[in-house]
Amino acid sequence: LDSEGKPVGFIDHPEEYRTVTYKVVEDGIGLLTLDRPDKLNAFDERMIREIRSIIWNVNFDESVRVLIITGAGRAFCSGRDIHGLDYENNLPSPQYRAYVRANHEMLDDLENMEKPIISMVNGICAGGGVEIAIASDFRTASEGAAFVLTENNIGVIPASGAASRMIQMIGISRLKEMMMTTLPVDASTAERWGLANRIFPSNELLEGTLAFARVLVNRAPLALGMAKHVINTCQNTDTETGRLIERLGQSVLIQSEDSREGNRAFREKRKPEWKGR
């Protein structure tokens, strides 16, 4: 971290972003757009840094309670920029593992941010794009969207979270189908499998996603963040440990101003005014 508490190497100012755009679209909702439409929004090293920079800043922006991620043009994200692989694929194994860790850490940033993240899949979502989407908390998709794991076509596997995150999400057989056949999964199938939460006509995707985001904006922010941590942790632990984690999380929330406000509002039959404290 630098003297201001920000990770060294991050691009900190919106005017410096070249591969993404970011704006607050309405109260409480930020919109991050992957912006390399000529490359179907494939991500390179710079995009990874810019995404991480935005996530870091959203973390500390109390006015933003929900982040939406989408892609410019006709794709959500086509995955890793193939031209960037020439360097990393020729590294010795220890250096290769260190190099790609930055990619994994970007996805971990999404998963660990204590605010809800919605991936709004507006078209093709391939390879690493799928891994961005599944590191998010929710996925909305247009009716014409498709999810596809293409890595077998170049003789490798998706190795940035597809297997580890998706196996419980869609099940082992469906995951094997996606990874081993490279056949695309259309939006309606993705919804049926549990890969997509909501499907909308293309011309209604943004408004439908914003409506879903507004529901989250109106929920207790501390409890949303804690729910995210507890759920993500409990999926990989035994039930006894999971119950302990639930109790620990609740013991923190019960002392919060928001918890007291929620109880008062319930008794007074009014809408609570959340402070995130």
Residues involved in catalysis: 131, 151
Token digits for 15?
Answer: 């005017």
Give buried/exposed letters for 19-31 (b at 16+ CB in 10 A, else e): bbebeeeeebbbb
- Amino acid type, 9: G
Q: Which two tokens stand for residue 41?
A: 């929004």
| Residues 10 and 49: beta-carbon distance below 8 Å | yes
Residue 196 sits at φ, ψ, to 5 deg, of -115, 140
Burial of 98 (0-12, 13-18, 19+ CB in 10 A): exposed
What is the rounded CA–CA span in Å between residue 11 and residue 241? 39
Which own/partner pairs from 206-211 qualify as long-range (CB within 8 Å, at least 24 positions apart)? 206/120, 208/140, 209/68, 209/118, 209/120, 209/140, 210/25, 210/26, 210/29, 210/68
